[in-house]
Amino acid sequence: MSVNAKPLPPINPDTQPFWDGCAQGRLLLQRCGDCGHLQFYPRMLCAACGSRTLDWAESCGRGTVKTFTIIRRAVSAAFEPDVPYVVALVELEEGPTLMSNIIGCDPAVVAIGQPVRVTFETRAESVAVPQFEPMP
């Protein structure tokens, strides 16, 4: 990988199904078979009850911007062409929060509480990263 490429997620066996979902355009959450808790990021145990019985559930992909920033100084050369770019925390309708960029709009229009929806950015062969864009 070139030093100028954006980082790829170091996928591991615990998270492989999540990233497989992304590659197919589906945003997957984990759902606890015992207590019904929905969680992100994917992990070994239910964060609510400790159960090992976890399954996958597809998120509707809609959420709201919980907070955000506009990055004016890129973290590395790979992100320099994107400056200024938005990094946000997005709260999904199902409850869990995840980090994302907000893409497809002028950073100046992004606001806390703004409705957004998921889209997927292909970063390598069979690796897609969830991204969010303003709801049309």
Residues that bind another protein (CB under 8 A): 6-12, 15, 40-41, 66-76, 78-79, 82, 85, 87-89, 97-101, 112, 123, 129
Q: Which is nearer to another protein, 31 or 65 (CB)?
A: 65
**Minimum CB distance to another protein smaller for 72 or for 136:** 72
35 contacts Zn ion (rule: CB under 5 A): yes
Return the beta strands (E) in 49-93 as ranges.
54-58, 62-71, 85-92
Q: How many other C-beta atoms are found inside a 10 Å radius of the C-beta of residue 81?
A: 9
Q: How far apart are CA 136 and CA 121, in angstroms?
A: 18
**Binding-site member from 22, 27, 46, 86 for Zn ion (CB under 5 A):** 46
The smaller minimum CB distance to Zn ion, of residues 39 and 114, is found at: 39
Q: Using omega within 30 degrees of 0 as the cis cutoff, is the peptide bond preceding 41 cis?
A: yes
